[in-house]
Amino acid sequence: MSQRRSLTRRAATLAVAAAVTAFAFAASAAPQPNASAPSTFTLANGLQVVVLPDHRTPVATQMVWYRVGAADETPGVSGLAHFLEHLMFKGTAKHPAGAFSKTVSRIGGSENAFTSTDYTAYFQRVPRDQLPTMMEMEADRMTGLVLTDDVVLPERNVVLEEFNQRVANSPDARLTEQVLAALYLNHPYGRPVIGWHQEIEKLNRADALAFYKRFYAPNNAILVIAGDVEADQVRTLAEKFYGPIPALPTIAPRLRPQEPTPAAQRTVTLADPRVEQPSLRRYYLVPSATTAKPGESAALDVLAQLLGSGTNSLLYRALVIDKAIAVSAQAWYHNTALDTTQFGVSATPRAGITFAQIEQAIDEVIADVAANGIKPDELERAKTLLVAEATYARDNQSTMTRWYGAALATGQTIGDIADWPNRVRAVTADDVRTAARTWLTKTRSVTGYLIKDAAPKSEEKRS
């Protein structure tokens, strides 16, 4: 569930901000007779350009992905990648504060941005004829950002309110933060994307500009253009607007400290007086689509689908229907990551049921898959559902753009993306059994418990 780790600059008009459109696994457009195929090329300055034609309506989406996210921050300034994302809307010398957004708004377009552990992305969706204007303005802010404390300081308060809204007010989100921090002993994925509160409070203009100058460059970016466009048009426009920006020679390979071999099963308990419904979640350290051996990541996709997607999944059937000990049960696999990622399982116990009972039932389901594998019809069903996602995705320009951008920004290739349905089709029952046996072992995991804090209120910092 990549949306968990993504933050969006604006909550738009909905009461609760949904971060990004759900896309839990990297699907792709399987080549279809009627569809124009995706294409890619790279400018001389290192900017990778991807074109995803979609001629249904005269609309185009521009999305620029920077290969920098929260996991690329220096320790001590957590939240900086996300803070900079907010500040990227504060204008340049050429297009002062508000001009870009006003241009988008005047034509009825939409725009936003989001930050994850591995990438930061900015997008606009506009009528096709406005695409050159959008490209000119987006290229301009790749290196032209101007920041003053007048705009930086109020925006830091906005981010602190975003922290309050997403994390501080939500016991669920606070537990997830703690579980991830425990899961990663060494890798920066253990730091929250939005940052730790006391570090967000101190982020400033100089930090933001230094980060910007270090990471925002054509040779550290991917430009994805989807919609009613052709590759040669896009190439001309990209050369014109992005081509003149010089490459930054100091862009370095993204080598983060890696996890040691996990040695101990861990648990984390978060108690909050507002918890009326206890819940449990377990995260396992597993390979991502980028780090996995061939076929291994697709097997984990299928395993997550089988174990915990929907009411016919193994966990739901065992815990919620057959044993009737849980209100809900899910599993997911966050496959799009540069480094070692997470496979998650969660359940909400029924009243009177202990966490131990829930965990025993989860362990039995996993042990059964690891020992005995899965039935052919269940394997087929899981694969059908996953492969269909690739077709459904083609109905949504935004989903397509995000799949391509996120996969490329985490080290996959266009070929990897296009081939994903085939890799899923190739998964065997034995692959799934091996994936469960290899990766879903308790020493690789942290289990988090959300419980009601019945004790009198202790000190809590008032932010």
Partner 1 sequence: MNAGILRIAATALAVAGSAWLVAPQAARATTIQRVISPGGIEAWLVQDATVPLVAMDLAFAGGVAQDPDGKPGVASMTAALIDEGAGDLDSQAFRERLDRRAIELNFSVTRDCFRVSLRTLKENRNEAFELLRMALVAPRFDREPLERIRTQVLSTLKKDSTSPNDIARKQWWATAFKNHPYGRPANGTLDSVPTIGADDLRGYVRRVLARDGLKIAVVGDIDAAALGALLDTTFGALPAKATLIPVPQVQPDAVGEKVTIGLDVPQTVIAFGGPGFARKDPDFMAAYVVNHIAGGGAFSSRLYREVREKRGLVYSVYDNLVWLKHAAAFYGGTATRADRAAETIALIEQELRRIAHDGPTEQELAEAKSYLKGSQMLSLDTSSKIASQLVQYQVDDLGIDYIDRRNGLIDAVTIADARRVAQRLFGGGLLMTVVGRTPSAAPTGN
Judged by CB under 8 A, does residue 455 bind partner 1?
no
- Please identify which residue in 42, 44, 56, 422 interacts with partner 1, judged by CB under 8 A: 56
Name residues contacting partner 1, limited to 218-257 (CB under 8 A). Answer: 228
Nearer CB in complex with partner 1: 263/351:
351
Nearer CB in complex with partner 1: 161/363:
161
Nearer CB in complex with partner 1: 74/157:
157
Judged by CB under 8 A, does residue 154 bind partner 1?
yes
Judged by CB under 8 A, does residue 394 bind partner 1?
yes
* Nearest alpha-carbon partner for 202 in 74, 68, 79, 72: 79
Name residues contacting partner 1, limited to 170-209 (CB under 8 A). Answer: none
- Please identify which residue in 4, 55, 214, 323 interacts with partner 1, judged by CB under 8 A: 55
Nearer CB in complex with partner 1: 60/221:
60
Q: What gap in Å lies between CA 344 and CA 283, rounded to an integer?
A: 4
Q: What residues contact 324, with CB distance under 8 A and at least 6 apart? A: 350
Site string for partner 1, 306-345 (x = CB under 8 A): ----xxx----x--xx--x--xx-----------------
Name residues contacting partner 1, limited to 395-434 (CB under 8 A). Answer: 395-398
Name residues contacting partner 1, limited to 131-150 (CB under 8 A). Answer: none
**Which whole-number Å values give the CA distances from 209 to 143, 156, 321, in the listed order?**
10, 14, 54
Least distance (Å) from partner 1 to the CB of residue 81?
A: 17
Nearer CB in complex with partner 1: 126/345:
126
Judged by CB under 8 A, does residue 376 bind partner 1?
no
Q: What gap in Å lies between CA 202 and CA 177, rounded to an integer?
A: 20
Instruction: Give the residue numbers marked as catalytic.
Output: 85
- 304: its two tokens: 């997550």
Judged by CB under 8 A, does residue 125 bind partner 1?
yes
289-294, long-range: CB < 8 A, 24+ apart:
289/26, 289/335, 289/336, 289/337, 289/407, 289/410, 289/412, 289/416, 290/337, 290/338, 290/339, 290/410, 290/411, 290/412, 291/337, 291/338, 291/339, 291/340, 291/341
Find the length of the chain: 463
Judged by CB under 8 A, does residue 15 bind partner 1?
yes
Place of tokens 């014109």: 240
The torsion region of residue 324 among left (phi > 0), alpha (psi -120 to 50) and beta comes to: left
Least distance (Å) from partner 1 to the CB of residue 382?
A: 9
- Please identify which residue in 42, 74, 148, 169 interacts with partner 1, judged by CB under 8 A: 169
Q: Do 448 and 272 form a contact (C-beta atoms < 8 A)? A: no
Contact range with partner 1 by CB under 8 A, out of 67-75, 105-113, 135-143, 437-445 = 105-113
Nearer CB in complex with partner 1: 221/393:
393
Residue 49 is inside which H or E element, if any? strand 48-53
Judged by CB under 8 A, does residue 111 bind partner 1?
yes
